[in-house]
Amino acid sequence: MLSDTAGSWTPVALSADLPPATVLPAWTPAGSIALWRSQSGRASASSDRCPHRGMRLSHGFVRGEALSCIYHGWSYSPAGGCIRIPAHPDLVPPEAIRVAVQKVEESNGLIWVAVGQPATHPPPLGDLVPLRSLTAEAGIAAIEAAAGAKADADGLVSVADFPWIRLLPTQQGDRTLIHVMIEQACSIADRIAASRIAEAVRRQAEARQKEAA
Ligand code: FES
């Protein structure tokens, strides 16, 4: 999570894990979100609670440029306004019916979601590209200890002896979502090795977390 005085950016998912016309659940420090991508490719972040009867919007579906609730089909635009109520097809939904939305930016193959109104953009991560994401049952401190380095100003954790790998962790309560980043020029063999090394760091972090409990 990258913060300034006005807000923060959280790397919630890999761009490749959110194809057009799909929705998935994600997390930011402000709470759960429905992260979705329209048919045309625009990524959006909506509160994960339908204003009608509270169904999780991440269980819904995407049609065209709208996210629809799985329960009664109310549809929401990327700006959060309700644009269709199937039970009343001739009704223009009142402007008051809307879901909260958060700003989204994509860079370095990651989807970043804003909490508040950060004054800056997500950090440029040079030639790093995402390899995969994994979840550790451990906090960031345990991951830093297992990797052998502290997070830098951009939130990246280097892995001792493997300079082409960086871990980008986001703690979510007792768990941490880790995006594994590698240098773009990595060979297939390096990619396979990076995946295994990241899993080894996770195992060590989880072991340290258990020992500390
Ligand atoms: S709960 Fe979402 S449309 Fe009814």
pLDDT tens string 70-120: 999 999 999 999 999 999 999 999 999 999 999 999 999 999 999 999 999
Identify which of 48, 52, 83, 85 to mutate to test ligand 1's pocket (most ligand atoms within 8 A of the CB). Answer: 52
Which two three-digit tokens encode residue 84? Answer: 């269709």
**Helices in 110-182 by DSSP H: which ranges?**
140-147
Contact 72/53 with Cβ under 8 angstroms?
A: yes
Mean pLDDT, rounded, of the chain: 95
Q: The whole model's pTM is what?
A: 0.93
pLDDT of residue 213: 78
Domains delineated in the chain? 8-115 (2.102.10.10), 128-212 (3.30.70)
Q: Output helix, strand, coil percentages for the chain, rounded to the nearest 5.
A: 20, 40, 40
Contact 198/130 with Cβ under 8 angstroms?
A: no
Under the banding of pLDDT at 50, 70 and 90, the label for residue 1 is low
57 C-alpha to ligand 1 centroid (Å): 9
Under the banding of pLDDT at 50, 70 and 90, the label for residue 2 is low
